[in-house]
Amino acid sequence: MSDLIPTPQVAAPDILRCAYMELVVTDLAKSREFYVDILGLVVTEEDDNTVYLRAFEEFIHHNLVLKKGKVPAVSVFAFRVRSQEEVDKAEAYYTELGCETRRGSFSNGIHNAVRVVDPLGFPYEFFYEVDHVKRHAWSYDLQGAGALVRLDHFNQVYPDVVKGSAYLEDLGFKRTEDIRDDDGVIYAAWLTRKHTVHDTAMTGGAGPRMHHIAFSTHEKHNILYICDKLGALRRSDMIERGPGRHGVSNAFYLYLRDPDGHRVEIYTQDYYTGDPDNPLVSWDVHDNQRRDFWGHQVVPSWYTDASFVLDLDGEIQPVIEREEPKEIDVTIGADGFSYTRKDDMETGIKLGRQV
Binders in 217-276 for a copy of itself, by CB under 8 A:
218-221, 224-225, 227-234, 236-237, 239-240, 243-245, 247, 250, 252, 257, 269, 271-272, 274-276
Q: Are 221 and 229 in contact (CB under 8 A)?
A: no
**CB of 93 or CB of 252, closer to a copy of itself:** 252
- Our CA dihedral for 220, 276, 162, 257, rounded to 10 degrees, sits at 20
Q: Are 93 and 51 in contact (CB under 8 A)?
A: no
Binders in 319-338 for a copy of itself, by CB under 8 A:
337-338
Q: Which of 4, 11, 351, 355 binds a copy of itself (CB under 8 A)?
A: 351
Q: Residues with Cβ < 8 Å from 314, sequence gap 6 or more?
A: 69, 75
Q: Is 84 in the site for a copy of itself (CB under 8 A)?
A: no
Binders in 185-204 for a copy of itself, by CB under 8 A:
194-195
Q: Are 22 and 74 in contact (CB under 8 A)?
A: yes
* No. of helices (H) and no. of strands (E), the chain: 5, 22
**CB of 271 or CB of 325, closer to a copy of itself:** 271
Report in angstroms the alpha-carbon separations of 161 from 14, 16, 79, 155, 203: 23, 23, 20, 12, 7
Sequence-ordered strand ranges (E) for 146-232: 150-158, 174-180, 186-192, 200-204, 209-216
- Collapse the DSSP code of 30 into the 3-class scheme (helix H, G, I; strand E, B; otherwise coil) and give the result: helix
CA atoms within 13 A on the CB side of 236: 8
Give dist(CA 211, CA 307) in Å, integer: 6
Binders in 289-308 for a copy of itself, by CB under 8 A:
289, 293-296, 299-301
Q: Are 174 and 223 in contact (CB under 8 A)?
A: no
**CB of 17 or CB of 326, closer to a copy of itself:** 17
The piece of 112-120, 167-175, 287-295, 316-324 that touches a copy of itself (CB under 8 A) is: 287-295
* Residue 200 C-beta: closest distance to a copy of itself, Å: 16
Contact pattern from residue 207 through residue 226 relative to a copy of itself, giving x for each residue in contact according to CB under 8 A and a dash for the rest: -----------xxxx--xx-
**CB of 160 or CB of 199, closer to a copy of itself:** 199
Q: Which of 4, 30, 49, 82 binds a copy of itself (CB under 8 A)?
A: 82
Binders in 129-188 for a copy of itself, by CB under 8 A:
132, 135, 137-145, 147, 149-150
**CB of 87 or CB of 120, closer to a copy of itself:** 87
